[in-house]
Amino acid sequence: MLDRSLAYFLNGVAIRSKRLVPLMLLVLVAGCAKPLPSSEYSWELYEAPTVTPETFTGQTVAILPAVKVEFDPSQETYREAIGGIMYAAITTNDSNPRILPLDAVRSLVNRADMWSDLQSMYKEYQNTAVLRRDVLAKLGKALGARYVLLPKVLRFQQEVFDRVTIIGISFLRTRQSTVDIQVQIWDTETGDVVWHGVGEGSQSAEVVEGRPVSFMSVAQYACASLATRLPWVKNAQAGSALKEQSPGVKSK
């Protein structure tokens, strides 16, 4: 009788073990197939027909303070860092026009007593999505810049999602942070938008690895990708490609 009971018990353990094997394999496979640690994307949404490869040659582009974050007032502090991150991303390329960093812009605005003009221009932009031509012209003269670059945080999202859940229990969890950043380039003389693009940066980490991915980390990815789309960079790359395709000319 005892032997029969033991046999039933061992048989039950074997059956349960067989059922657990697929679940264990699922956890193992999901653990090996980790999400991409980081990714970056960018899109050019508009380029004025007047823009040519020579448009920005010898010109100054000033980086303005980022537009106020409307969707979440608690994220307002993040926009303070965008100007610096964008400047670092842009200046890694050798084909740039002269780039005026945000802190220099602030100093020049203060010296020209233009802070109230800048404040009213931003308030109007929040309602109209347009920078006033008269204020732009005055700002361009104060900065010595033909063009201004206006950044804006469109979205910053941090989330945690389960990659493997069995019987309501989460075995593997991933944190992911994503940011979308918009950039517009305005002509201070004509009041025209000459370029418009958006960049996205995303980074993932396992929950066991510690704190969430910071805004600064994902913003660097977004700005780096966006910087490659800027018109002077794109035109320089196109020019280099044409040179490579052109047949060489032998000198006599």
Tokens of 88: 């670092």
Name the phi and psi angles at 58, rounded to 5. 75, 5
Please report the pLDDT score of residue 164 as a whole number: 52
Could you identify the residue written with the tokens 């602030």? 106
Element holding 98 (H helix, E strand)? strand 98-100
**Domains of the chain in sequence order:** 34-243 (3.40.50.10610)
For residue range 192-224, what is the model confidence (pLDDT) as tens digits? 999 999 999 999 877 655 567 788 999 999 999
How far separated are the first and last CA of the chain, in Å rounded? Answer: 106
| Residues 149 and 62 sit within 8 Å (Cβ to Cβ) | yes
CA 220, 146, 229 angle in degrees (round to 5)? 35
Tokens of 124: 């109007």
Higher pLDDT, 165 or 131: 131
- In the predicted model, is pLDDT for residue 63 greater than 70? yes
Q: Which of 173, 70, 75 has the alpha carbon at shortest distance from 127?
A: 70
| Residue 35 neighbours by CB distance under 10 Å | 15
Name the phi and psi angles at 185, rounded to 5. -115, 125
Predicted TM-score (pTM) of the model is 0.77
Higher pLDDT, 18 or 208: 208
Please report the pLDDT score of residue 17 as a whole number: 46
For residue range 102-161, what is the model confidence (pLDDT) as tens digits? 999 999 999 999 999 999 999 999 999 999 999 999 999 999 999 999 999 998 888 876
- In the predicted model, is pLDDT for residue 69 greater than 60? yes
Sign of CA dihedral 106, 109, 115, 120: negative
Cα→Cα distances 248→120, 143, 166, 179, 244, Å = 55, 43, 64, 45, 9
Longest dimension (CA), the chain: 106
Alpha-carbon 216 to chain mean position: 10
Q: Which of 149, 126, 127 has the alpha carbon at shortest distance from 136?
A: 149
Tokens of 200: 């996205």
| Residue 233 neighbours by CB distance under 10 Å | 18
